[in-house]
Amino acid sequence: MFPAHETKTLQREQDPVIVRTGLLAGLPDRETSRCRLYAVRHGSLEPVPFQFDPRGADGELILSEDGAETEFTFGDDDELVFMAKDTGDRAPN
């Protein structure tokens, strides 16, 4: 269990949170199939739904025949996307 440092105060819960994958350079692996996202809620880790969106050199989404790619090795210009409503409390340092 994790003691919550600060309780969640986020009000804009319907907004997507978009993180450029260039900010994830410290991750040991860039395979989207191996990534997981968790939030701290009531002192416990809970999984958060998320997706990676691949972006081309022109900044546009790269789509497959049946929608966005689901598993790939992300580069610095791709995006990690999740909903603000799924965030949790601030984790302790």
Global pTM reads: 0.82
Distance of CA 68 to the CA centre of its chain: 16
Residue 20 has pLDDT above 90, yes or no: yes
**Euclidean distance between the first and the last CA atom of the chain, given in angstroms as a whole number:** 14
Residue 92 within any structural domain of the chain: no
Domain count, the chain: 1
Give mean pLDDT, residues 77-81.
96
Residue 71 within any structural domain of the chain: yes
pLDDT in tens, 53-71: 999 999 998 887 776 567 8
3-state secondary structure 26-77: CCCCCEHHHCCCEEEECCEEEECCCEEECECCCCCECEECCEECCCCECCCC
The domain of 30 spans 16-86
| Best CA proximity match to 18, nearest among 53, 45, 57, 62 | 53
